Amino acid sequence: MQPFAKVSQAVNAQTDKTIYLVDDDPAVCHSLTILLEASGYSVQTFTAADGFMEVIEDVREGIMLLDQRMTGITGLELQAELKQRGIELPIIFITGHGDVPMSVKAIKAGAINFLMKPFSNEILLKSIKEAFSLTNVSRIRTEIWKRCRSLTDREREVMEYVIAGKPNGIIAERLEISTRTIEVHRSRAMQKMGAGSLADLVRKCTLCQESALPCPPN
């Protein structure tokens, strides 16, 4: 892990594979730094959002791994600050304190993913790889649009309830079908959308909405 005192030097030497890790848990910072550096990334760590704010104007390239609940500025507040300053830094939230409404808010504000701790190294690295590939947003939105088009009307209806955080039992009651049928529709919808998690499904549906694509509202 790089000492904060040297971070300004590191910012000047950054590459397009730089990851800014903002998490108030030193143990998390240490373990993730080892993993990410071994995977070929340059990692700059901050144990508070306030620390990152001190060098925010120098940050232009890379992606961010961002904890939500921290002392001082929260992850969502830092995300909003970046957006206000016009700094387009792909963000992956990593948190042990989150829920569906929080993940929806983060992803609607532009986050790439919202991972709940503990998460597997494989899922994290996959999300990071995707974040670095998001330079071609048009191509990605076109692919998501094609996936949206493949959904049946019922699958879209179920997906609307799912991303709103409704449990299968409630969805089944409202649609007047069995819970087992809901599970089948939900599984097929996530498979067709290529979504590995609920947060991933919300993100992809949000991209559809931003492009006026035929995904159900949440």
Contact call for residues 109 and 84 (beta carbons, < 8 A): no
Contact call for residues 106 and 83 (beta carbons, < 8 A): no
Q: State phi, psi for 26 to the nearest 5 degrees.
A: -55, -35
Fold of 4-135: Rossmann fold (3.40.50)
Which position has the token pair 């035929």? Answer: 214
Q: Residue 3's pLDDT is what?
A: 40
Domain range list for the chain: 4-135, 138-210
Please provide the average confidence, as pLDDT, over all residues in the chain: 81
Q: What is the DSSP string of 61-101?
A: SSEEEE-SS-SSS-HHHHHHHHHHTT----EEEEESS--HH
The string of pLDDT tens digits covering residues 71-129 is 888 899 999 988 887 677 889 999 887 677 788 888 887 788 888 888 899 999 999 99
pLDDT band (50, 70, 90) for residue 210: low
- Look at phi and psi of residue 134 and say left if phi exceeds 0, alpha if psi is from -120 to 50, else beta: alpha
Q: Residue 70's pLDDT is what?
A: 87
- Kindly state the average pLDDT of the residues 1-30: 64
Fold of 138-210: Arc Repressor Mutant, subunit A (1.10.10)
